[in-house]
Structure 1
């Protein structure tokens, strides 16, 4: 009975590829086997879906488009997202101004602790109310291990929030992504949801975004990032937002968003099932690090070749295992008695 929250699209597809994405309103039973649900926050979703439908899908994945939400507010749409989460279906929400609060609140419902990843040119925690990130993060008790902010540009970032212990912020600057593209994979691998604001893009690559910042992510980097999100075994929701559908050059941005969604789907189709972590399927490496004072336990997946660092943290007087995604470079640095910035920050958070 999802019709309470969504309404159908009036589309007439001619492409043979249209069969790759099923229409819930033509066959509600198609949701039973669905892994991904595409949801439009507003009418701008229609040309994006039309573009996406024209692509080839050389992978086996059950994708359903649900149409448009009847009322684009957090309170109205939240039960829909929660129902999809309860059914193990990933929600991909696309719209000009989708509030981040939708994903924060839906994951508070789904998990006692979660890891948000937000992609934006700046950390929107106090100066900008155009997206709900600001008021929600400051006013709500967040059950977050940490919040990762990717593609932040330092001239736009409030210094009080960079590496803030209060908000458990982990920032990866645009320059680091440009220099070390692989640096974003461990952060995105640990995400429960990805909120992608197109403000993080270069204006030339996303001319339909809000604002005119000439610096930012390239389109290829954005697609790589959403592919990493699709590969994440933890991730259960993706939002792409932050654009002006009335912009004269919105057609180019439509293609960009469609490509980002396609690479997310391709990533999902190639998940390695590393999560939940099963140490029996991992190779263990112990590194004695004199600077840290105790041995470090690294784990390498035999399925994917990806790396984790195992630590124990105290939550309400109970010690639990926490697996921090990392890279081979992090392990190699530890073998040289050095600690990468990412792991050093993790030690500060978890002890």
Structure 2
């Protein structure tokens, strides 16, 4: 793989690794080093790389440095994983921000084509745009889940920034986006215009309090995602112990790690980005981000591959008549997870080629039995019709 825009892990970290317990992640991960170059990716399941780009962030002078984050992550012990990991080093900022986007897009696309899940450590969250564009040549509609206090829709007519990339994703061709879900938004950080636009586009939005009151209800949201992005600003400042993230409200350490694990365990998620890493965060923040990455990989390790046609043949089917509709639910006998069918409209030009199973919860099935149509099904069906 020729990616000469990647810079290696620095030599000081290599010296640190030599002193680690031989069972730690750092002693077993394949590394991009100055001496040996980019590692062999045959058999690798998850590849981590940093992107030191933040020119479109609020504080562009705080160029991210992931050295201490790597030190914290390498020192962790893996779970009972069957996965092979690689650290590809960092993408340095290009001559223009668009050059950086191009590098990220190409690297993510290449890794996905090799069945390797990229974990992107990034500066400005506008890098999600490049993560999304990596799917342009993969011939599929994608669902994007964003863990963030803001929707980041912004003004699509203006230059892309870390708070306006979703608008660009919606309006720029090619159109690959089927659904956008915002997890953990806080109303006072979002204008009413943006809240109303989310409704008009049939996108999904879950308030911070709604998520934290029963975090397990978010599992189906991540199960339908292809791309997951996380803004570190969604975490409360106390958990990060950093003045940069200046919001007293947000997810705590346990909650953000639970969401990360849901992202990892989803059979569909093929790329994961952690953004708004600024400068060189303190030890506590770096340890939390290291654990966020750890929980994502832990989730990947325990995937059940229920997204295959053969697995779906084993599902138990339930039909629920509501008014003039018949809702079709499926339940996995292995994991106990639920799905609901979105019917394909043959007269509509869409990349949804067949009946699509939308992840849902048992509560959705029970509500349907009480003649209440699940909101996620309604929004997905409406998006298929427009």
**TM-score, L = length of structure 2:** 0.83
Contact conserved, 1:20 with 1:57, CA < 8 A, in 2? Answer: no
Q: Which moved more, 1:321-330 or 1:108-117?
A: 108-117
Identify the residue that residue 109 of structure 2 maps to in structure 1: 82
Contact conserved, 1:94 with 1:240, CA < 8 A, in 2? Answer: yes
CA distance in 1, matches of 2:154, 2:299: 34
Q: 1:111 to 1:180 in 2, by over 3 A?
A: farther
| Deviations 1:265-289, CA, capped at 9 Å, x for gaps | 0000000001134431211111122
- Find 2:344's aligned residue among 310, 313, 323: 313
Describe the SS at the equivalent of 2:137. Answer: helix
Q: How big is the shift at 1:130?
A: 3.2
Identify the residue that residue 216 of structure 2 maps to in structure 1: 182
Contact conserved, 1:85 with 1:110, CA < 8 A, in 2? Answer: no
CA distance in 2, matches of 1:29, 1:211: 35
1:7 matched to 2:7: yes
- Find 2:319's aligned residue among 286, 296, 302: 286
- Find 1:20's aligned residue among 28, 31, 42: 28
Identify the residue that residue 61 of structure 2 maps to in structure 1: none
Structure 1 unpaired stretches of 5+: none
| Deviations 1:218-266, CA, capped at 9 Å, x for gaps | 111111111011111111111101132255xx22111111000000000
Identify the residue that residue 228 of structure 2 maps to in structure 1: 194
Identify the residue that residue 303 of structure 1 maps to in structure 2: 334
Report how many aligned residue pairs link the two structures: 347
Contact conserved, 1:208 with 1:244, CA < 8 A, in 2? Answer: no
1:67 matched to 2:89: yes
- Find 1:33's aligned residue among 38, 43, 66: 43
Identify the residue that residue 140 of structure 2 maps to in structure 1: 112
CA distance in 2, matches of 1:319, 1:49: 41
Contact conserved, 1:145 with 1:168, CA < 8 A, in 2? Answer: no
**TM-score, L = length of structure 1:** 0.91
Structure 2 unpaired stretches of 5+: 53-63, 95-99
CA distance in 2, matches of 1:161, 1:305: 36
CA distance in 2, matches of 1:81, 1:209: 32
Identify the residue that residue 56 of structure 2 maps to in structure 1: none
- Find 1:330's aligned residue among 355, 364, 374: 364
Identify the residue that residue 131 of structure 2 maps to in structure 1: 103
Q: Which protein, 1 or 2, shows the higher relative CO under an 8 Å CA cutoff with sep ≥ 6?
A: 2
Q: 1:304 to 1:277 in 2, by over 3 A?
A: farther
Q: How big is the shift at 1:189?
A: 0.7
